[in-house]
Amino acid sequence: MNNTTRVDLHNHSTRCNHATGTMDEYIQRAIELGIDIYGFSEHAPMDFDPHYRLKFEEMHTYTQEVLQAKEKYKDNIQILLGYEVDYLKGHMDKSVIEAKVDYLIGSVHFIDKWGFDNPEFIGGWKDKPVDEIWSAYFEAIEAMAKTGYFDIVGHFDLIKVFKFMPSTDIRILAKDALQAIKKANMVLEINTAGFRKPIAELYPSPLLLEEAYALDIPICFLFRCPCRGTSRV
């Protein structure tokens, strides 16, 4: 007997302006694929880079849409409500951090307000040594973990997206961030979006997954994943 719980928690809606399809279509496909727990984690609003995320005034509607879907499909799949929150010091809103949701994904998409994973700003990779950029990224991940705000680490090594790779051993660069994740009791997600990017590899890399395994850091992929508050699954 297979007792594996299949979990998919990193999913956006059209409200982020870079997704297509309806919530119903996503859920119906998840049911077809045998997903047991499916979470919506829209990009949370903040006062920076507003285009690719939920608006503050849409938070209530988004919540209601997910809760309605939760009720509608309760006999077929468990639906969870969450946010993917950009860790950007000084720009994380209290209404998001304290929102009554099942979980929060903490992600780093910006280094000093530079959107390093956005093709529009790829030129920024010429401004500093690659190793320095990688170090700054993992320092941000470490700081994010230390806030205690988040449950799941989004695409842990997203910094590799355009294949600008460091000369320093990645395990050394990521060591302190992984230690902070462990101490914060956070979960690492396995995110396959990297296969569609220039790096053509999942996040995090197998090498970093081995490091996470050695630290006994939970991984959210096709098995039970700890979530936020009283709605833990």
Q: Does residue 222 sit within a domain? A: yes
H/E element holding 62? Answer: helix 59-72
Instruction: State the Cα–Cα distance between residues 197 and 114, nearest whole angstrom.
Output: 19
Which stretch of 10-19, 102-111, 138-147 has the lowest confidence by average pLDDT? 10-19
User: What per-residue confidence (pLDDT) applies to 221?
Assistant: 63
Q: CB of 57 within 8 A of CB of 48?
A: no
d(CA 3, CA 57): 41
Cα 74 from chain centroid (whole Å): 24
d(CA 127, CA 112): 13
Is residue 91 one of the residues assigned to a domain?
Answer: yes
24 pLDDT more than 90: yes
Cα Rg, the chain, nearest whole Å: 17
pLDDT score, position 13: 85
* 173-213 pLDDT tens trace: 999 999 999 999 999 999 998 999 999 999 999 999 999 99
Q: 73: domain range?
A: 7-228
Residue 233 in domain: no
1 is a domain residue: no
What confidence score (pLDDT) does residue 124 get? 96
Residue 212 sits in a domain whose CATH number is 3.20.20.140
